[in-house]
Structure 1
Amino acid sequence: MASQGVAEDALDTTVEEGISRDERISRPDMASSSPITPRPTVALSLLILGGTTEASRLAALVADNAEIAPVLSLAGRTREHAPAPIPLRVGGFGGVAGLATYLATNSIDAVIDATHPFAARISAHAASACAIGDVPLARLTRPAWMPEPGDRWQVVPDMAAAVAALGSTPRRVFLTIGRQELAPFNGAPQHHYVVRSIDAPDGFTAPQATFITARGPFALADEEALMHAHAIDVLVTKNAGGAATAAKLKAARNLGLPVVMVARPPEPDVPTFHEPSEALAWVEKLARAKKLASPSHRAAP
């Protein structure tokens, strides 16, 4: 069983399901080496559900905006996380009720769900909790990958279907689905798996496996070399979208390899943005509305 370190899915690390019982609140002055911008009392209180590159980019955009008082929340699913330019909260909420309580207790004015496209549970919990508290909610997510000429994709709805798509004949399978959804592949031990994830997986018992702990972005030449070196027959991945790990799809296309692509779960019906700047504009509009509605603003001559 081999292991090697390289680098998988950018910052898509911390909010896969977001229900960790461990809850640690980072001191604001420890979240970044930069001083926290003073906020007026009418600043919009914003919760960013993060764990992605998009969330980090949005956090950077709001860090110096005096009209917004942001908090970045990470589920803590990976063993390490990058420093944040805004106050950072690490840990789960305890389901819908816990999140609704957090929103009310902390007087949250708006929520941006910038979690991973496959963090379906936390997205559903966010939608339900915001509905309970009548808190505005928007989604910030990268566009899904789309097949291009020469691709040999087989799109499947879930991991069980991905396992079935591999068939009974032994194959060399490149798994880039993260470390938390590997269990279904234990039921197909005839294959040799090359598993790449940010942290080493737990509970993967397939007898033939090579583990690569890695974090993107990845270069096309490196992806092609990896697939050659491991004699890969098929790539299994989730439609996470984004540029950091897209090179594996082009490498598979160039090498004529089939791809088993797990489709994204359904998204809640909320305003959705693909760029952090678009989400920022939505938040700034809410911040202006709150300022105009504040007693101090109405009382001003």
Structure 2
Amino acid sequence: MKLLLLAGTREARQLAQALSSQAGIGLVASASAAQRPPQGLGVPLRIGGFASADELGAYLAAQRIDGVLDAGHPFASDDSFQAVEACRAQGVAYARVIRPTWTPSEGDLWDFAQDEADAARQTAPGDVLFIATGRDRLHAYGALPGRVVHVRQLVAVPETFPFERGGWVLSRPPFDMRGEAELFERLGIRRLITRNIGGNGARAKLDAARICGIRVSMIRRPLLPEGVRLETVSAALAWARRLD
């Protein structure tokens, strides 16, 4: 049996490590983000994604893929729709590995937003913002005039900062609540903007926002295609074994 793993999350790395040791399972991974390819998969990795469902379908047929485990980023919905279309056309099994969303706890000050533009409308002149959604979608916030904007980056970026006031905040995980709270207090943050990716790895900033009394603009996940959805790595492993 041969599987294609669409990578882009911590769960993808865990699945690659677990499945690669299973007898009788061949595994190849694909990642669409060539600028920051996933590390530590330990299996053959195809970088660049697929231009269309037809291209992916041709790849599935040529590689004789029996099943696709989609463990891509929770906001990579276009890739998921493409994968579902290709799998249906080729008669290949498909499952989406999607971690549960974050939900607010007592004391959280969350405002849900549909997208970046909606989150921008939740801000006001004079606000000091901390944007933790990456730089690829910064244009979608607009100019944010009159705001001080701090944008987290995991690596140094060469381009000019796109907002009139503020700057890049370079930091590397793992993050903890105390460190995030100290950062927010030092910068004078009044609103955190983030996407609802779920999981424990990025949860610390939400806990820090709660104890600091900071409002959060929580961008909802995009719509995903219908199909099998698995919330844990163990459930995904069980699904893969049933294909054999």
**TM > 0.5:** yes
Q: Tell me if the contact between 2:129 and 2:150 (Cα under 8 Å) persists in the aligned partners.
A: yes
The residue number in structure 2 matching 1:196 is 152
The residue number in structure 1 matching 2:227 is 270
Which ranges in structure 2 are unaligned for 5 or more consecutive residues?
Answer: none
Which ranges in structure 1 are unaligned for 5 or more consecutive residues?
Answer: 1-43, 288-301
Cα distance, 1:217 vs structure 2:
2.5
Cα distance in 1 for residues equivalent to 2:220 and 2:112: 6
Larger Rg: 1
The residue number in structure 1 matching 2:197 is 240
Q: Does 1:90 align with 2:21?
A: no
Q: Tell me if the contact between 2:161 and 2:168 (Cα under 8 Å) persists in the aligned partners.
A: no
Q: Tell me if the contact between 2:34 and 2:47 (Cα under 8 Å) persists in the aligned partners.
A: no
Cα distance in 1 for residues equivalent to 2:164 and 2:228: 45
Q: Following superposition of structure 1 onto structure 2, how do residues 129-148 of structure 1 map, counting pairs within 5 Å?
A: 129-148=86-105
1:58 alignment partner, SS class? helix
2:122 alignment partner, SS class? helix
1:194 alignment partner, SS class? strand
Which of the numbers 110, 126, 129 marks the counterpart of 2:67?
110
Flag the 1:125–1:185 CA change in 2: closer, same or farther, 3 A.
same
The residue number in structure 2 matching 1:26 is none
The residue number in structure 2 matching 1:172 is 128
Q: Following superposition of structure 1 onto structure 2, how do residues 61-100 of structure 1 map, counting pairs within 5 Å?
A: 61-79=18-36, 81-100=38-57
Which of the numbers 51, 58, 63 marks the counterpart of 2:8?
51
Q: Does 1:261 align with 2:218?
A: yes
The residue number in structure 2 matching 1:297 is none
Cα distance, 1:100 vs structure 2:
1.2
Q: Does 1:152 align with 2:104?
A: no
Q: Tell me if the contact between 1:217 and 1:243 (Cα under 8 Å) persists in the aligned partners.
A: no
Which of the numbers 106, 110, 128 marks the counterpart of 2:85?
128
The residue number in structure 1 matching 2:241 is 284
Q: Which amino acid aligns with 2:151?
A: V
| 1:236-256 CA distance string (max 9 Å, x none) | 000000111101111111011
Q: Tell me if the contact between 1:112 and 1:137 (Cα under 8 Å) persists in the aligned partners.
A: yes
Q: Tell me if the contact between 2:117 and 2:142 (Cα under 8 Å) persists in the aligned partners.
A: no
Flag the 1:223–1:74 CA change in 2: closer, same or farther, 3 A.
same
Flag the 1:203–1:77 CA change in 2: closer, same or farther, 3 A.
farther
Cα distance, 1:77 vs structure 2:
4.0
Q: Does 1:162 align with 2:119?
A: yes
Superposed CA RMSD: 1.5
Count of residues in Structure 1 that have an aligned counterpart in Structure 2 = 243
